[in-house]
Amino acid sequence: MLREGSTLRFGGPLTNAVKLLITVNTSIFILQWLLEIGGMSPGGFWSYFGLTPARLIGQGMIWQLGTYLFFHADVFHILFNMLALWMFGSDVERQVGERKFLLYYFFCGIGAGLTIVLTSLSAELLGWAVSGFYAPTIGASGAVFGILLAFGMLFPNREVLVFFLFPMKAKHFVVLFGLLELYLAVPARGGGVSHFAHLGGLLFGFVFLRYERHMERRYHHYKLRKREMLLRHQVEEELSRDEFIRKEIDPILDKISRHGMGSLTRRERRTLKKGKPRRW
């Protein structure tokens, strides 16, 4: 819950991207629930759409880095994530815009997924007794933690009521949760929650917010360079064509004007065809 002055509120009116994400996540959860009622085990589609590092690496299931964000284990899992997405995401989207919000959300979510893969692969190679390399991870928590970080950086002095009771500035709230996740990331303490995903969402969110302008400048510079190379290629192509016409076509045209078309050799006729204007 957020507090502005003496006013308590949640996330305010739903913004477009937040509404879309909540709708898609909820729809998939309902479909998943209906399939379970029909007798289908959730493990079947979790192993295919959830993020399982062993299957992603061994079988090339790269889509799992995106699809795992839309599946949830139970009602409380999806309720917590969607509530947090609404509470913090709507203000962030109003600040940065719909397009950049969605880009940021998936950047954090996929980044959290990469963090899961790297940490579980490292644990597997080191022989640590953890099951994360073969077990699927599901849920939007990594992306949601990225949204939480963005809220703390964009509205650092906005008050958040922790557990609906204790007021705390957003910047302190983010630091507290980051330290808590770091503490809980130790396998013996983590239970069934992928705290490395939460840390990955925070880390990739920080990278995006810290270096986004630099990356955007580099991207625009790349686009300008690409456009410049294309124009240069077109100019060189036109110059080459002009040179071809001057050296090859003009003498043939002069020959036609003096002796007629019948005087052309087969090679000269082929050359003349090459010099016809191109259709665009």
Check whether domain 2-212 has CATH 1.20.1540.10, yes or no: yes
| Residue ranges in the chain modelled with pLDDT below 50 | 5-8, 188-191, 277-280
CB neighbour burial string for 154-179, b if at least 16 within 10 angstroms, e if fewer: bbeebbbeeeeeeeeebbebbeebbe
Of 90, 120, 141, 194, which residue is the catalytic one? Answer: 141
Residue 211 is predicted with a pLDDT of: 84
How does pLDDT run across 77-87, given as a tens digit for each residue? 899 899 889 98
Question: So what's the pLDDT on residue 193?
Answer: 53
pLDDT value, residue 21: 96
How high is the pLDDT of residue 62?
93
The SS3 call for residue 121 is helix
pTM over 0.85? The answer is no
What pLDDT was estimated at residue 11?
59
Which of 198, 214, 233, 240 is catalytic? The answer is 198
Q: Is 141 one of the annotated active-site residues of the chain?
A: yes
Is position 221 annotated as part of the catalytic site? no
- Kindly report the average pLDDT of the chain as a whole number: 79
- Report the SS3 class of residue 265: coil
Domain boundary assignment for the chain: 2-212, 224-274
> How far is C-alpha 203 from the chain's CA centre?
14
Query: Residue 173: CB partners within 8 Å, gap ≥ 6?
Result: 148, 152, 160, 162
Give the pLDDT confidence score for residue 188 in this predicted structure: 45
pLDDT of residue 185: 62
